[in-house]
Structure 1
Amino acid sequence: MEHTSNADLRAAADAVLARLVGDDSGEARLREDQWRAIEALVAEKRRALVVQRTGWGKSAVYFVATSLLRAQGSGPTVIVSPLLALMRNQVEAAARAGIRARTINSSNIEEWDTIQDEIGAGTVDVLLVSPERLNNPDFRDRVLPELAAATGLLVVDEAHCISDWGHDFRPDYRRLRTMLADLPQGVPVLATTATANARVTADVAEQLGTGGSTDALVLRGPLDRDSLSLHVLRLPDAAHRMAWLADHLDDLPGSGIVYTLTVAAAEEVTAFLRQRGHTVSAYTGKTENAERQQAEEDLLANKVKALVATSALGMGFDKPDLGFVVHLGSPSSPISYYQQVGRAGRGVRHAEVLLLPGQEDEAIWEYFASLAFPSEELVRRTLDILADAGRPMSLPALEPLVELRRSRLETMLKVLDVDGAVRRVKGGWTATGQPWTYDAERYAWVARQRKAEQQAMREYASTTGCRMEFLQRQLDDEAAKPCGRCDNCAGVRHSAEASTAALEAARTDLGRAGVEVEPRRMWPTGLPAIGMELKGRIPAGELAAQGRALGRLSDIGWGNRLRPMFASGAPDGPVPDDVAKAVVGVLADWARGPGGWASGGADAVARPVGVVTMASRTRPVLIQSLGSRIAEIGRLPLLGSLEYTGEAFPASRSNSAQRLKALDGAVAVPPELAAALAKEEGPVLLVDDYTETGWTLAVAARLLRRAGASGVLPLDA
């Protein structure tokens, strides 16, 4: 029998739950495992790590605990949460229980001072903070100490992000160690996640200070979701997958999410489904914040059948009645896959989960795997540059000096910050001079783990055993057993057939060639620091015009055809007939389209007077043959080719400044091409195999225009 005070506390907790879920009957009751977590936090002031499936009710635990702790006179709860979508959901949920919640994140800077005043006045019950705020110098030095001193409960949501052993490591989360160290004695801490295997669970517990403490509570439950029916459909190609989705989307229950692996694919699929009469919206990392919020609201209100989303929607979207999750393309990790499918079926008895693997999946996996932690040489070079600077260096100032793209450079600096080797201050980053060791063994283990996760996803797609049991075992769930619901347990329920009409429409859509290639218009910052006196706008007389390309390597139409051609180690050879024909079609559409030389419009560019090919050390035959075909069909002279000078041209995939440094003096207009340009009056078509950063085209256009071309029209396969 419960102690009287605990019985009263339990009754008060159930009353808060009733308000939270809108239950006026008075019958709402916390489950025993939820109550155990709340009891540990409120009555025992302990630290707890909760690993429970999505939909278990983790938010109920921290909102109920908050209400009870506030009634005892404790300070506000601080929730560290990864995504704005989750924050918006949480604020609304808290209000139902009479809990006043506010957020501090990058989208509401103008409200920060007001919110801090409200915290000081005691009118804020819950403060949701994005992990990035924890290492903002002003927030870290001015707000965080006061917050830590006043906090009544610290909640770390999606706590698997703390561990770099996991699938979704975020270095900003490691800053929590500072906040934990500054918490007054007896302040409870709750960490929650639905996606952590045993290794990640142990690491998170250690990071949060719960690992070695005898006062810690670890609650780990079974991860089976009895509302989810898992299925895999293997279809011949991208057209079949899109056609199948167009035919069967309305058959899926309620509204849901269609995940894609790339932004380009999300945009393609959204456009196609709309053409086929479906109400859908795209949701990617490139979607404007206001559009994201509108898309979330539309899905919550069932105004759209689906959001077509990248992993930007992977965490933190709370819609209990989400009826389905479809993946057009396989994620590289069974843990992240479990997390994404866990968005469905939280408040309904049945939800459909379908994986439609694609031939492009592994190429996309390899690309993201290439963005792992940089080599020790690059890290040491960065530390030396910061040490020699003697002053804080901003990312734009540091980037030209380091062969890393800005996003990777920033992530690396955050890891070094947590390790104590650098510090983020006002004005940028400084080296601390503290000794630092490159943990090569750990980084290699993480890389091997990524490979193992990829293999696990291959096995998931091909297994003849229970699919839910497979995912549970990947998360080290000791309660794993056959689910009785998936296609392998209960039989196939979804036909792989697609209608002829939808299939023809998908093939037409995916076969439609041509994307615009926007020219670079501004030189990157910091070039003078590496000996290049270029800055600001590229002069109009040196600019490339807007160009065209056959397709994007990241899309699921022409990308699937082109990707093998441009893969590392792929043989060089004459341009294939189908590719050449499609490029000529792109050229014809370009000429007739708005602003094209055959459009007759007032803004039309002049007709090209000749074809110039780009130099290439890897695909000279391909580019030369494509240039020749275009010149022959367009009845244009083949004026010549740009050429590379010197022994080697490093194909840098790092950042813009380093790419330009590598190109500086490495490309030239040979005398015979210069002479040909001098005889012609008008723009030229510049033919290349593909463009990645746009800087090779920018440099080539500058050289050609300085040599006499009145314009440069880039055209890529």
Structure 2
Amino acid sequence: MTTTTPTDLDAEALGLLRALTGRDDAVFHDGQLEAIRALVDDRRRALVVQRTGWGKSAVYFIATLLLRRRGAGPTLLVSPLLALMRDQVAAAARAGVRAAALNSANAHEWADVQQQISRGEVDVLLVSPERLNNPRFRDEQLPELVRTMGMLVVDEAHCISDWGHDFRPDYRRLADLIRTLPHEIPVLATTATANERVVADVEEQLGAGSPVLTIRGSLARASLRLGVLTLPTSRERLGWLLSHLADLPGSGIIYTLTVSAADDTARLLREAGHEVAAYSGRTDPDERERLEQRLKTNDLKALVATSALGMGFDKPDLGFVVHLGAPSSPVAYYQQIGRAGRATDNADVLLLPGREDAEIWQYFATASMPSEKRADAVLAELNDTPFSTPALEARVDLKRTPLELMLKVLDVDGAVQRVQGGWVSTGKAWEYDRERYERIAMARVAEQDAMLRYESSATCRMQLLQAELDDPAAAPCGRCDVCAGAWYPSEVRAEASGLATAALDRVGVELEPRAQWPTGADRVGLSLKGKIPADQRVESGRALARLTDLGWGTALREVFAAGAPDVPLSKGLLDGCVRVLKEWPWAERPTAVVAMPSASRPRLVASLAEALSTVGRLELLPPLTRARRGAGDDEAVAPGAPRTTANSVYRLAAVADAFDVGPELAAALAQQRGPVLLVDDFVDSRWSVTAAGRALRRAGADAVLPFALALVG
């Protein structure tokens, strides 16, 4: 191997930096050249913790080119998001680095990429952490990549740590991969969001017994001007956006806590003439890419987004970030606002916290670790015969997403393994690490408390964020609203307030009917499969609003709060329900009302059914009764509370024969003509109203129209 003096390396690296940036006067930031030397000359393992925009990608692109010139193989870059991969491939091309990606979106290109690698035409191969456990990639392609690898790069390395704000179990496999690498292969991990606890965790996994060079700089973002504007209601917050969005610099991102808030806010702003679009985890991947490009070219004033738009989105001149509701931790907040001002002198960052934020944090609080009971249930079903995830879902009481997460955790822990055809048990003993999981849960609560302190603190905003990341250089920024006074207007124009009020006052969310019985129902003793017969199916229904909505959601969350009394429906909520019925475009108007047998709010449901009957002049039929107590009934617990059942098969099993059409109701249905309005307090899985509607249809109801106060999720 050819060696060079540090001076030769420095000059060579500087030339590559200037080619990368297109500037003849470009120089390295503090720490960049140190990292490059460590990787290329010393073949070390290094962790770089630097602010967004510092130039972490320049380090690994330049190090790659230098290593390739010295005869090394391609760099394997583990990258967490498709958006990040797209930006990194584009950035690599600008730097003269030949990059290719293997991910779920380009499976049709894998064979071509493999050929390019074998011909030596790829300098950097980007893969997702999930790809590392794809059986074909892991068994057939990864060994050859490791054999020829010149360097391993782990981007967004805080995802390795279960202490981090964005823990991903698949990242934990990297520690196993690193342990298999020869010590002369350099390894680089990079992140902008890691406190001391996360740094120590990443160092331990990165080092695998070797010393790690950690290069940590100040996380202060001098271009960002931070502020917090507390307004009393969602109406005022939306009104502020309507009043002042056009005045914010350039184009930017408006973050919301929920998908429904993103959709509703984007619709309101569009109707007011603003070029915006909604972006969330429900957005089609191709549409996501198109929207990202529109924002990058300033064709949009803003994307109204959930946290789905986060790591990896790179628009250096992004002018502002506004949060409509606060994330649940300062570290997550720092990561999201890091999208702004990466290549500009100034960018505005404003938080508009809501009173409902803490409730929404609690509602969405789902453990990223397996519960002992459910982990044991999964392990009990697995043996040496592969089970696909859908097949396993039919055997255990978990929805698809948490089941996949649990399998990944168990896989990393060595208890299960993913093979061609599904998952198998390794036969290794697995012990539930209760103490560890409880520590992590306590850390999440502490993060929420810290976010509330950020909102109300008299300490410099940037200094507080730096302190949460254990940045020793934390100091007053001199720019935020604490240091320099409010830089943002606080007034809300009357016209904007009126538009916001009208938007928040909108009612009605469709309840799509279930059309298919879940696969695997026969495994829990149900002879139900295939399509639900048309003469046993409910029609499209309606709910007053989603529980997470900015408008009606506030009142609904009070109704369904833990410990809230079961009382008759308030006039305000009843008026909203009546409006939903008036605006419902049903094919045929209902002629009667039937109440669901609610286990937790019988007075509320009975009062709603009676009131709708009176106002709509509909016949009030005897209520359905409970044939048995179904532990998984939608009504059995409050929305967001822990359930004893989770996935569709088990939810259906709990309610399939749980409802009884008694003699009085059966006699009334025999005389009844026209659709029946089936009234419930809230709908979650939709299996309760599906089962109840089936019972009513089999008893003679012409049609069943489900109606609920709230839609969960």
For the aligned pair, the TM-score class normalised by the smaller chain equals: over 0.9
Q: Where in structure 2 are the equivalents of 1:24-423 lying within 5 Å? A: 26-209=24-207, 212-214=209-211, 216-387=212-383, 390-423=384-417
Q: How far 1:43 moved relative to its partner? A: 0.9
Secondary structure of 2:83 counterpart: helix
Q: How far 1:299 moved relative to its partner? A: 1.0
Q: How far 1:31 moved relative to its partner? A: 2.4
2:639 alignment partner in structure 1: none
Unaligned residue ranges in structure 1 (runs of 5+): 597-604
Q: How far 1:135 moved relative to its partner? A: 0.9
Q: Is the contact between residue 367 and residue 441 of structure 2 (CA under 8 Å) also seen in structure 1?
A: no
Q: Within 1, Cα distance between the matches of 2:572 and 2:430?
A: 54
Q: Within 2, Cα distance between the matches of 1:294 and 1:378?
A: 39
1:532 alignment partner in structure 2: 526
Q: Within 2, Cα distance between the matches of 1:538 and 1:207?
A: 50
Q: 1:493 aligns with which of 476, 479, 487?
A: 487
Q: 1:715 aligns with which of 685, 707, 712?
A: 707
Q: Is the contact between residue 235 and residue 241 of structure 1 (CA under 8 Å) also seen in structure 2?
A: yes
1:654 alignment partner in structure 2: 646
Secondary structure of 1:340 counterpart: helix
2:618 alignment partner in structure 1: 636
1:5 alignment partner in structure 2: 5
Q: Deviations over 1:490-509 (max 9, x none)?
A: 11121221100010011001
Q: Within 1, Cα distance between the matches of 2:629 and 2:698?
A: 24
Q: Is the contact between residue 359 and residue 560 of structure 1 (CA under 8 Å) also seen in structure 2?
A: no
Q: Deviations over 1:279-332 (max 9, x none)?
A: 111111001111111111111111111111111112111111111111000100
Q: Is the contact between residue 613 and residue 688 of structure 1 (CA under 8 Å) also seen in structure 2?
A: yes
Q: How far 1:647 moved relative to its partner? A: 5.0
2:595 alignment partner in structure 1: 613
Q: Is the contact between residue 630 and residue 655 of structure 2 (CA under 8 Å) also seen in structure 1?
A: no
1:437 alignment partner in structure 2: 431
What TM-score, normalized by structure 2, do the two folds share? 0.96
Q: 1:566 aligns with which of 560, 567, 575?
A: 560
Q: CA RMSD in A?
A: 1.3
Q: Within 2, Cα distance between the matches of 1:344 and 1:404?
A: 38
Matched AA of 1:442: R
Secondary structure of 1:677 counterpart: helix
Unaligned residue ranges in structure 2 (runs of 5+): 637-642
1:15 alignment partner in structure 2: 15
> Is 1:705 paired with 2:701?
no
Q: Within 2, Cα distance between the matches of 1:486 and 1:130?
A: 37
When residues 394 and 583 of structure 1 are mapped into structure 2, their CA distance, relative to the original with a 3 A threshold, is same
Matched AA of 1:660: L
Q: Within 2, Cα distance between the matches of 1:126 and 1:213?
A: 24
Q: Deviations over 1:312-367 (max 9, x none)?
A: 11211111111111100010011111111111111011111111111221121112
Q: Is the contact between residue 629 and residue 658 of structure 2 (CA under 8 Å) also seen in structure 1?
A: no
Q: How far 1:479 moved relative to its partner? A: 0.9
Q: How far 1:636 moved relative to its partner? A: 1.2
Corresponding residue pairs, total: 697
Q: Deviations over 1:645-693 (max 9, x none)?
A: 3356344451111111111322211111111111112211111111011
Matched AA of 1:615: P
> Is 1:695 paired with 2:695?
no
Q: Deviations over 1:148-170 (max 9, x none)?
A: 11111110000000110111110
Q: Is the contact between residue 22 and residue 96 of structure 1 (CA under 8 Å) also seen in structure 2?
A: no
1:602 alignment partner in structure 2: none
Q: Is the contact between residue 243 and residue 506 of structure 1 (CA under 8 Å) also seen in structure 2?
A: yes
When residues 648 and 608 of structure 1 are mapped into structure 2, their CA distance, relative to the original with a 3 A threshold, is closer
Q: Deviations over 1:51-75 (max 9, x none)?
A: 1111110000001111111111111
Secondary structure of 2:343 counterpart: coil
What TM-score, normalized by structure 1, do the two folds share? 0.95
Secondary structure of 1:313 counterpart: coil
Q: Deviations over 1:139-186 (max 9, x none)?
A: 111111111111111100000001101111100111212322332341
Q: Deviations over 1:550-609 (max 9, x none)?
A: 11011111111211101222111111001111111110111xx3xx3xxxxxxxx23322
Q: Within 2, Cα distance between the matches of 1:648 and 1:95?
A: 58
Q: Within 2, Cα distance between the matches of 1:609 and 1:283?
A: 40
1:601 alignment partner in structure 2: none
Q: Within 1, Cα distance between the matches of 2:321 and 2:213?
A: 33
Q: Within 2, Cα distance between the matches of 1:177 and 1:482?
A: 37
Q: Within 2, Cα distance between the matches of 1:127 and 1:648?
A: 51
Secondary structure of 1:690 counterpart: strand
Q: Is the contact between residue 149 and residue 182 of structure 1 (CA under 8 Å) also seen in structure 2?
A: no
Matched AA of 2:143: P
Q: How far 1:633 moved relative to its partner? A: 1.3
Which is further off, 129-138 or 440-449? 129-138
Secondary structure of 1:689 counterpart: strand
Q: How far 1:396 moved relative to its partner? A: 1.1
Q: Within 2, Cα distance between the matches of 1:55 and 1:368?
A: 30
Q: Deviations over 1:249-272 (max 9, x none)?
A: 111111111100111110011001
Q: Within 2, Cα distance between the matches of 1:516 and 1:4?
A: 68
Matched AA of 2:356: E
Q: Within 1, Cα distance between the matches of 2:583 and 2:264?
A: 20
Matched AA of 2:15: A
Q: How far 1:132 moved relative to its partner? A: 1.1
Q: Within 2, Cα distance between the matches of 1:176 and 1:692?
A: 37
Secondary structure of 2:424 counterpart: strand
Q: 2:550 aligns with which of 526, 549, 556?
A: 556
- Percent identity over paired residues: 57
Q: Within 2, Cα distance between the matches of 1:249 and 1:577?
A: 35
Q: How far 1:46 moved relative to its partner? A: 0.7
Q: Within 1, Cα distance between the matches of 2:320 and 2:589?
A: 51
> Is 1:685 paired with 2:683?
no
Q: Within 2, Cα distance between the matches of 1:355 and 1:450?
A: 20
Secondary structure of 1:175 counterpart: helix
Q: Where in structure 2 are the equivalents of 1:510-549 lying within 5 Å? A: 510-549=504-543
2:604 alignment partner in structure 1: 622
1:600 alignment partner in structure 2: none
Q: How far 1:4 moved relative to its partner? A: 6.9
Q: Within 2, Cα distance between the matches of 1:343 and 1:648?
A: 47
When residues 647 and 712 of structure 1 are mapped into structure 2, their CA distance, relative to the original with a 3 A threshold, is closer
